[in-house]
Amino acid sequence: MVDRADNLPAMDRNGYSDPYVLISIDRRKETKQKTKVVKKCLSPVWNQVFKLKEEHFKSINDIICFDVFDYDFGVDHDVLGFAHFPLYKSILAPGQWHVTFGHVHDDAKTRSEIIVEINPSAELIAKYIDEAKVAAEETKVNEFARTKGYWYLFIGGMYASSHSIQ
């Protein structure tokens, strides 16, 4: 589920953005799904549920991507931020996640937050639980560091931090 976002950057001349979220597995075209566009808003509420097909997952290392964009008519849409979750992490710690990220356009001085919920099906958990435990053990320090209940992810040249509130 894509719940909401807070404090998104203003990308339009009117002082707002028109945000939406693109959900996918490893950004593969056949897995992409999109929230509605919320016009003129910096703290949108989508509260939309999406079901990712089990057959689209190829391995325990697949990444569930939540990419946040500003809709712009007739031109490329602006990137506002993103939250990416390895499948193994969502199997080992399902539930609601708050992910903060720096704004791409101001050297990450301002922070935004996106709230998503990931609840894998019982079938997906059963299929991957053993591999998920192994993948978690093999995770390298520079990819994830667990500190005081928060995960710090280095993705695409910037850090995003998150925590589960189960």
pLDDT per position as a tens digit, 45-70:
999 999 999 899 999 999 999 999 99
CA atoms of 87 and 84, how far apart (whole Å): 10
CA atoms of 47 and 28, how far apart (whole Å): 23
Q: What is the pTM of this model?
A: 0.79
Homologous superfamily of the 2-164 domain (CATH): C2 domain (2.60.40.150)
Cross-sheet strand order for the sheet of 95-102? 45-48, 2-6, 111-118, 95-102, 158-164, 150-155, 144-147
Q: Is residue 107 pLDDT above 80, yes or no?
A: no
Domain positions in the chain:
2-164
β partners of residue 22: 34, 67
pLDDT per position as a tens digit, 11-46:
999 999 999 999 999 999 999 999 999 999 999 999
- For residue 155, CA distances in Å to 4, 46, 101 come to 21, 24, 10
